[in-house]
Structure 1
Amino acid sequence: MNRIWLVLGVLILTLGACVPNRKLVYLQKEDLKKRKETPRDTILRSHAMQIQEYRIQPLDNLNIQFQSLTGEDYDFFSKAMPRAAGGTSLSSSALAGIIVDANGHIEYPVVGKIKVSGLTVFQAQDSIKKIASEFLRDVVVRVRLLNFRYTVLGEVNSESTIVSGNTRLTMMEAIGLAGGLTELADRSYVKVVRQSGSESKIFYVDLLKEDYIESPFYYVQQNDVIIVPPLRQRPFKKYFASNLALITATISTILFIVNLSTR
């Protein structure tokens, strides 16, 4: 009889530590319950996404390239780009960027300051091109953000701060670049700390629900901190194997004492 209770106790503890698929699979819509009935190779649903283009902020690092038919001697825009010792261009490096000042401006000789804060990368290109066209012939302007970064912490396979050249990253892509989530990550309660001017805004997202695709928080923003908490099963799963012998011995001792006291 004692052995039966011991086996039942261990079985209950083991089952309580299991993590079901509904806590692991991203963007669910009850499809897990209808796998056999779900048609293949066809569109089941569509979602209207709230795409948010990144807008340049103060202290962003921009790489701005100019191409025109104007000779280099008269192209003061390109000359304003940082260069390494000996005249070697740093255009492929973060050092080649122009820092947006605290008021949201970049500055060039002759034309002075240009407001770029609050603009998307493409709007900034058009704005700078319009000004540069007054001085350069058939000019083409390309703007790229060099310091789009975010941090992922918690139950991920690689905690890190990631710098991406893509300013339209979804939360899924951002986590994927950090190695993905561990099996014991709570995908339904992911915390995000987002900087907005002089404020830090806190919100939570649920990666398990398919409707999250339509959320305005589906895309990562500059300097986001993504914190993934563990499931409640984590402490048990993590330490169960090493403590199984201790648990078994404790249960056996309790049953032995109970057995003696009933005699």
Structure 2
Amino acid sequence: MKRRILSLLVLVVLSACASKKDILYMQDAIQQDNSKVNYESANIQPNDILKITVESTMPEAAIPYNKSTATGVQSQNLQVLQLDGYLVSTENTIKFPVLGDISTANKTTKELETEIKNQLTSGGHLTNPTVNIRLINAKVTILGEVNKPGTYSFTEQNITILQALGYAGDLTINGKREDILITREVDGVRKISHIDLTSASFMDSEFYFIKPNDNIIVNPNDTKVKTAGFVGNVGTILTIASLALSVTILLTR
């Protein structure tokens, strides 16, 4: 009887443990050594906020084509910049000074820079202008088994899924590393992908680089799911099992 109880305890403990292959990242990373990195620029999407700066050899001539803050002073506060930025409409357009509505559909920020520059030049507005565009409300939402779930803003043009998870303090020990869920909306189409962080092959995926408004969901692993019911964790299991063993020993004396 005692042997049966001890065997049961061993099985309970082993079933609650995660193996090394479930925890380690990029276990075949050597296969990606010296591989080429393909950087991608995301297309501008509705509700993006753009900071657009137009410069010219004659600074005074470019003033009508630039937004200014209410105080007339260039602010470095991100929230103020967002309020003064160009909000992309659901029809994929922005209202630009003097030029009017400009389409952003299927354009990256670089392509929109070229579009505005061409319109300023061809329309005789400015001679050889310089146009700089930055997306200033890029964000990613990370939920589930991470240490700091939430929505995080970033200003870099390219960040990887590993960097995004770093913002959230990495996965907890209970995160399902072989099945990270990513949802993405591009030009009105929703895409869903499953990423396996235990294999370095995800570095070749189109989802390796995070795009603005991506959602990352880290589901609990099997160990967490098994202990998520009435018995909450391994410590509780061991306490109950120890109590049951003590009672059994007393009854069988």
Match of residue 234, structure 2, among 240, 245, 251 = 240
Which residue pairs with 2:60 in the alignment? 72
- d(CA) in 1 for partners of 2:210 and 2:248? 52
Partner of 1:17: 16
Contact kept in structure 2, 1:6 and 1:252, CA below 8 Å: no
After TM superposition, give the deviation of residue 64 of structure 1 in Å. 0.7
Q: How far apart are residue 53 of structure 1 and its match?
A: 1.6
Distance 1:119 1:197 in 2: 11
**Is the 2:54–2:62 Cα contact (8 Å) retained in structure 1?**
no
- 1:229 aligns with one of 219, 222, 235: 219
In the alignment, which of 59, 80, 83 is matched to residue 69 of structure 2? Answer: 83
My pick for the range that moved more, 135-144 or 236-245, is 236-245
Instruction: String of CA shifts for 1:162-201, please: whole Å, max 9, x gaps.
Output: 1111232211111111111111111111112222344433
Please state which structure has a larger fraction of its residues in strand: 2
Aligned partner (choices 188, 193, 202) of residue 192 of structure 2: 202
Choose which of 153, 157, 175 in structure 2 pairs with 1:185. 175
What is the CA deviation profile of residues 14-42 of structure 1, one whole-angstrom value per residue up to 9, with x for unaligned ones? 233222221122222287xxxxxxxxxxx
Q: Which moved more, 1:98-107 or 1:180-189?
A: 98-107
Displacement over 6 Å in runs of 4+: none
Q: Output the aligned Cα RMSD.
A: 2.8
Q: What letter corresponds to residue 94 of structure 2 in structure 1?
A: I
Say how many residue pairs are matched.
244
Aligned pair in 2 of structure 1 residues 245, 148: CA closer, same or farther (>3 Å)? same
Q: Secondary structure at the match of 1:233?
A: helix
**1:55 maps to 2:43:** yes
Q: Which blocks of at least 5 consecutive residues in structure 1 are unaligned? A: 32-42
TM-score using structure 1 length: 0.80
Q: Structure 2: give runs of 5+ residues left out of the alignment.
A: none
CA distance in 2, matches of 1:240, 1:204: 29
* Partner of residue 163 from structure 2, selected from 152, 166, 173: 173
Residue 226 of structure 1: how far off its partner (Å): 0.8
